[in-house]
Amino acid sequence: MNPEKPMSGRTVLITGGTAGIGRATALGLARLGAHVAITGRDRGRAEDAAREIRAAAGGRVTAFVADLSSQGEVHRLAGEALLTLPRIDVLVNNVGGYWRTTSPNWPTSCSPTNWPGDIRTGSSLRMHCTRAS
Ligand SMILES: NC(=O)c1ccc[n+]([C@@H]2O[C@H](COP(=O)([O-])OP(=O)(O)OC[C@H]3O[C@@H](n4cnc5c(N)ncnc54)[C@H](OP(=O)(O)O)[C@@H]3O)[C@@H](O)[C@H]2O)c1
């Protein structure tokens, strides 16, 4: 194993890799040798980010487009990622949000249908990728 590229041979799917924490995580993991796959809602922004990460870190960077506030999009992304990527070793559920438990929309009982969208997004992507792999 190359000690400078300990993530070599690993594929990491990072939701929301076009900006902020997700993008920094993608860049760091690409520098460690991982094949990183990022997601964003806009094709141009996602491709630009992938190109910039590739230029800075080298290696393989794949961009996917999906709005993860939609359950249908979560399913579609999971299917596309599993078809396109050689494998998924790590899933970084970065897309989400901050929900105050005092929010009037905060559910009083928990089931996947009434979870706030942010929580549903991460949970269902994980579930679909895990089920399909
Ligand atoms: N920054 C903080 O201090 C902080 C603190 C605690 C927790 N967090 C959590 O950490 C995560 C990332 O925060 P950040 O500050 O790095 O955010 P950010 O800079 O706003 O980046 C958000 C990323 O998520 C993507 N995204 C947003 N909504 C999306 C949606 N509906 N579907 C698909 N992709 C979506 C954006 O992509 P596009 O805009 O290109 O679609 C972008 O790549 C969030 O879950 C946030 O709640 C952040």
pLDDT recorded at residue 102: 54
11-132: what CATH class? alpha beta
Distant-in-sequence, close-in-space partners of 115: CB < 8 Å, separation ≥ 6 = 107, 123
Q: Are 93 and 39 in contact (CB under 8 A)?
A: no
> Cα separation of 65 and 45, whole Å?
9
Ligand 1: atom nearest CA of 70 is: 31
Q: Distance between the two ends of the chain, CA-based, in angstroms?
A: 26
pLDDT at 114 over 50: no
Q: Sketch the domain layout of the chain as residue ranges.
A: 11-132
Give me 58's structure tokens.
Answer: 């080298």
Q: For ligand 1, what atom is nearest to the CA of residue 98? A: 47
Q: Which of 82, 95, 81, 97 is nearest to 133 (CA)?
A: 82
pLDDT tens digits for range 10-61:
999 999 999 999 999 999 999 999 999 999 999 999 999 999 999 999 999 9
Q: In angstroms, what is the span from residue 2 Cα to ligand 1's centroid? A: 32
